[in-house]
Amino acid sequence: MRKIGYLGPAGTFTEQAAILYSEENSGELIAYSDVPGLIMAVQSGALDCAVVPIENVLEGTVNVTIDILTHEADVKIVGERIIPIHQCLVAAHEYQPGEIREIVSHPHALAQCRRFLQSHFPGIPVHSANSTSAGAMEVRNKSYPAAAIANRRAAEIFDLKILKENIEDHPNNCTRFVILSSQPAASTGRDKTSIVFSVSDRPGSLLKALEVFAKLNINLTRIESRPMRTQLGQYLFFVDFEGHADDQAAAQALHLIKNMSTYYKHLGSYPGYQAAD
């Protein structure tokens, strides 16, 4: 049976995305405690594939995922899932807001609920956990009143009380997850391609690279920059565009971009996510 890894423990949004993926691609779900270990387990062959968060509508890129895919791991993106994110404030008991002395969650979840925390818990310390469900597990065992930001499933798994639901600052909050594998995905006719590249530090270099896509009538769905980790002022550019590396236009674009780049990596070509009707 295929082994499908996800950021655990059970009750994370990543597990939710992994469950959706496993319904279409049967396999055993295996929890990992952190994203780096999860990704490298795919590279080592300990996992057949893994589901990791890569982008949130509020917080943007999940940097740890992008950085490892760029600099450390040799794996491919073979699919994606988009999950609505609805956060809950959970605790071991029915605490009143004034009783809570600490709030625990993943840094992205804390950031997604920043206005709620400022409004209802000003001055209350917040503590980071490896995942939302890890935070839920932690507050279950606290000897003093503490709360976690997690989803409804985590509250059920760890027998916690839901103090308040839908505490995220924006109702349209969602996260994009990608599926990683050591083997590339075949073309389906409804694909996306993800690449990362850098260009020389000369006027017009980035413009020339982007013009490649315009001239080939290729639609970009995402572009973002990240520091290159070498020196200040040097950046990598992450681009998603419509098409598969095996398509004629996409293949031509990849060839041209690679030749004009000082750094280049094809992260994968994969079916674009389509929500069920």
Active site residues: 175, 177
Distance CA 130, CA 12 (A): 10
Distance CA 46, CA 3 (A): 8
Q: Distance between terminal CA atoms of the chain?
A: 29
Phi, psi of 163 (to 5 degrees): -80, -35
The token pair at 222 is 């995402």
Distances from the Cα of 246 to the Cα of 5, 227, 266, angstroms: 28, 29, 12
- Helix or strand run (H / E) with residue 120: helix 114-120
- Cα dihedral sign for 34, 64, 69, 81? positive
Whether the link from the prior residue into 9 is cis, omega within 30° of 0, is yes
The token pair at 66 is 């992008």
